[in-house]
């Protein structure tokens, strides 16, 4: 026996709403949890699991990422952090000190508020930004 059309619609509408919510979530700024997973996979070797940095095997120092805002007058510099993570803006740093993660950070674009402008940014890069912003402390 087949279901009446109204019963089919009552089932289909919530399923479509859930699917639409999933698609919408993928196009919005990711939260810190998504970035924490990427950080654990790619950044902890130098910056430790707490993001507090330390001395590397070659004698260089990885900075404390929990004090970015404190070192910047209490403001989290999103544009500068994005540039540092993706490999642009290294200035005098060599890849041995801060590797370029540009290829790793490719993906769907999400809008990220960078100094008042919504900027299309690869989702993994936006996720790392969100995580780093979430771990800021008052000390630097």
Quick: pLDDT tens for 12-28.
444 444 434 444 455 78
Per-residue pLDDT reduced to its tens digit, 97-111: 677 776 677 889 999
Q: Quick count: other Cβ atoms within 10 Å of Cβ 132?
A: 26
User: What pLDDT does 24 receive?
Assistant: 41
Q: Are 22 and 14 in contact (CB under 8 A)?
A: no
Coil/strand/helix, residue 110? strand
Q: What is the largest CA-CA distance in the chain?
A: 75
In the chain, the domains with their CATH numbers are 30-134 (1.10.760)
Q: What is the pLDDT of residues 51-86, one digit of tens each?
A: 999 888 888 889 999 999 999 999 999 999 998 887
Instruction: State pTM to two decimals.
Output: 0.74
Q: Quote the CA–CA distance of 5 and 93 in Å, as a whole number.
A: 65
């Amino acid at each position: 026996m087949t279901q009446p059309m109204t019963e089919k619609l009552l089932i289909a509408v919530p399923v479509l709403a859930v699917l639409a919510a999933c698609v919408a979530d993928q196009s919005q700024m990711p939260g810190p949890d998504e970035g924490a997973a990427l950080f654990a996979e790619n950044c902890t070797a130098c910056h430790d699991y707490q993001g507090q940095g330390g001395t590397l095997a070659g004698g260089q120092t990885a900075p404390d990422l929990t004090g970015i805002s404190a070192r910047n007058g209490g403001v989290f510099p999103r544009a500068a952090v994005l540039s540092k993570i993706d490999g642009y803006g290294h200035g005098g740093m060599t890849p041995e000190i801060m590797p370029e993660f540009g290829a790793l950070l490719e993906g769907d674009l999400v809008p990220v508020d960078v100094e008042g402008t919504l900027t299309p940014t690869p989702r993994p890069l936006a996720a790392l930004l969100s995580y780093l912003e979430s771990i800021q402390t008052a000390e630097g």
